[in-house]
Amino acid sequence: MIKLIDENGLRLDGRRFDELRPVKIEVGVIKNANGSAYIEHGKNKIVAAVYGPREVHPKHLLIPDRAIVRCRYHMSPFSTEERKPPQPTRREIEISLVLRRAMECVLFLEEYPRSIIDVYVEVLQSDGGSRCASITAISAALADSGISMKDLIVGCASGKADGQIILDLSDIEDKEGEGDMPVAYMPNLDKITLLQFDGIFSEEEFKKALDLAIMGNKKIYEVLRKALMEKYFKTEEK
């Protein structure tokens, strides 16, 4: 078994148990999308693009009093160490579903009856926690598109490695650690929109992991807010 935390309490990449990986967000990166964003979260490099609200095709999918949301999370074949086949895997289908459900909570869908909002997520390079980084990027792209939202959403996982609760797992911590808990969070409403869990935690560990993930999410929210402000001020200058 790989030792993930050394005797000084440092993780393989030098972080302490409660430190995030570096997060960078850029808003408005795809010309043809209604809203878009690029995120680097650790080694994750992800683009999210929003199209719509627009007319629904095929028509039988239409809902008369609200918009429907469609989401595709896709890992590019070159995003992993070993080439990943381009067709969607079961994991990508599951992540597409959980991302869609997480964002449906935050949108005022009833403001856009009979329409569809398409959200595409392309993982260019993957590290652990790509679903969490994707939700942050989606939220930036949705805000960029101008679709009415109740709050922003940010995503960050916590987990367990070498018996310790840690924040924001990297790929190796995700694979070799004892547990992983992705959390998406609406910071102003103080509500969780996604919580998945894999591993065995005691009740105390679960509470600690949840608090840590929320703390990490609040820090990512600050980065997201700054990225949106940056886009806004840049547009003002033009």
**What residues line the site for ligand ADP (CB under 6 A)?**
80, 82, 84, 91, 126-131, 171, 174, 180, 182
Give me the least distance between CB of 163 and ligand ADP, in Å please: 20
Give me the least distance between CB of 39 and ligand ADP, in Å please: 13
Give the nearer residue to ligand ADP in terms of CB position, either 51 or 201.
201
Separation between Cα atoms, residue 169 and residue 83, nearest integer Å: 22
Q: Which two tokens stand for residue 232?
A: 């806004």
Give me the least distance between CB of 144 and ligand ADP, in Å please: 23
Q: Which amino acid is at 228?
A: L
Give the nearer residue to ligand ADP in terms of CB position, either 164 or 196.
196
Q: Which two tokens stand for residue 17?
A: 């148990």
Give the nearer residue to ligand ADP in terms of CB position, either 41 or 231.
41
Give me the least distance between CB of 80 and ligand ADP, in Å please: 3
Give the nearer residue to ligand ADP in terms of CB position, either 130 or 145.
130
Separation between Cα atoms, residue 140 and residue 148, nearest integer Å: 12
Q: Provide the 10 A C-beta neighbour count for residue 80.
A: 13
Q: Provide the 10 A C-beta neighbour count for residue 218.
A: 14
What are the C-alpha distances in Å from 195 to residues 31, 66, 191, 217? Answer: 33, 25, 11, 13
Give me the least distance between CB of 233 and ligand ADP, in Å please: 32
Strand partners, 186: 191
What are the C-alpha distances in Å from 202 to residues 175, 199, 210? Answer: 20, 10, 12
Give the nearer residue to ligand ADP in terms of CB position, either 55 or 198.
198
**Are 99 and 134 a contacting pair, CB within 8 Å?**
yes
